Amino acid sequence: MQFLKNHWQMLLLTTLVYALWNTQVVFPLKILVIFLHELSHGLAGILTGGSIESITLAPDESGLAYIRGGSRFVILTAGYLGSLLLGVLVLLAALKTSADRIVVGVFGATMLLVAAFYIRDLFPLVFCIVTGLAMLASAWWLSHRVNDVVLRIIGLSSMIYVPYDIFSDTIARSELRSDARMLAEEFGGSTMLWGGIWLVVSIAVILLCLRYAIRENSNLWGQGAAATG
């Protein structure tokens, strides 16, 4: 009962995201997580000596990042696990810091920069510009608590989407041309092997995050609410 009392708002947000998962309400969040997936590929390329040529997103919830150079192993691995890590960092920023407005603003500015330098297609261009501007507006005009909720929703959506997507793309439908399929072709093993490894790692990361994040009261308002976001 004490756990429910201290974390009912987080549990409610998680339940709402999960319940609305296959509706148009959550569609923008799915595209945002896919953006994080492709951005993670790009960042992995840059960190291993490569460069981003372009990034694209599609309404069917697919995406591509074209990377020149860099470590193929790191780049292919970074998609799912990198986007999960970014989602975890966003959630921890909401739960463990008071920098919610700064984080939302940096997130929005990053989307606009990616749109300016790496996106060529209309759908992802419009999505990144509209979402980036909305985040900047939220950071500038809306309260700390509103921005905290924004970060919690983004972080929780990533933590729900990534393991689900890994299972769907690499295990349930292992014939798809996924990151795990390409990794298996280039480095050995099988699609299901790499997908299984990523799934285990993603679940472990989520459990570690939750263990650290919800030691104390995580509520934003109401009786016993946490003092900081």
> Which of 222, 84, 99 lies closest to 164, judged by CA?
84
If one compares 229 and 73, the residue with the highest pLDDT of the two is 73
Q: Over 60: is that where the pLDDT of 225 sits? A: no
The pLDDT assigned to 110 comes to 98
Contact 23, 16 (CB under 8 A): no
Round to whole Å and give the CA distance between 206 and 209: 5
Q: For the purposes of burial, counting CB atoms within 10 Å of the CB of 83, is it exposed (0-12), middle (13-18) or buried (19 or more)? A: buried
Q: pLDDT digit string (tens) for 147-204?
A: 999 999 999 999 999 999 999 999 999 998 899 999 999 999 999 999 999 999 999 9
Q: pLDDT over 70 for what percent of the chain?
A: 97
The pLDDT assigned to 74 comes to 97
Round to whole Å and give the CA distance between 100 and 21: 25
Q: pLDDT digit string (tens) for 18-41?
A: 888 889 999 999 999 999 999 999
> Which of 22, 52, 59 lies closest to 38, judged by CA?
52
Start-to-end C-alpha separation, the chain: 22
Sign of torsion over alpha carbons 82, 88, 91, 95: negative
Round to whole Å and give the CA distance between 50 and 40: 13
Residues in the chain, overall count: 229
Contact 205, 80 (CB under 8 A): no
The pLDDT assigned to 222 comes to 59
Quick one: DSSP state of residue 97? -
Quick one: DSSP state of residue 62? -
The pLDDT assigned to 229 comes to 42
Type of residue at 178: S
Q: pLDDT digit string (tens) for 46-67?
A: 999 999 999 999 999 999 999 9
Q: How far is CA 64 from CA 94, 124, 198, 215, in A?
A: 29, 11, 19, 37
Round to whole Å and give the CA distance between 211 and 208: 5
Residues near 125 by Cβ (< 8 Å), separated by ≥ 6?
115, 119
Global pTM?
A: 0.93
